[in-house]
Amino acid sequence: MRYFVDPALLSGLDFSTATTLKRIESNRIEPHRLAALILEDVSRYPRAKMGEIHRRIGLEIPRSRIRRAVDQLVEGDKLIAAGILNGTRYTVAE
């Protein structure tokens, strides 16, 4: 489905905010759902790197949110991190 807004209509409304085609809701996912997605991904692809997890879950979600969720899962003993910096790989704790 496509929507079109006539630019003349927007200029006539004295609309002060810039318009964009980017969906604001695209990166809105509840933290518990994101955590579940990450756990499911890592269970299917053990020893996954952060970039791989991010790519499979969806690049529309900011990497910082994925990083935060992974860190919380590691702190909660649900994921195991092995390695340092860019070489860190994650597996599901059993």
pLDDT given for residue 17 in this prediction? 65
**Each residue of 23-79: pLDDT tens digit?**
545 457 899 999 999 999 999 999 999 999 999 998 889 999 999 999 999 999 999
The reply to whether the predicted model has a pTM over 0.75 is no
Sequence letter at residue 58: G
**Phi, psi angles (nearest 5°) of residue 9:** -65, -45
Cβ pair 55, 63 in contact under 8 A: no
Q: Say yes or no to pLDDT of 20 above 80.
A: no
In angstroms, the CA 57 to CA 34 distance is 9
Burial class (CB in 10 A: 0-12, 13-18, 19+), 15: exposed
pLDDT given for residue 28 in this prediction? 78
Q: Which domains does the chain have, with CATH numbers?
A: 28-92 (1.10.10.10)
Q: Say yes or no to pLDDT of 18 above 70.
A: no
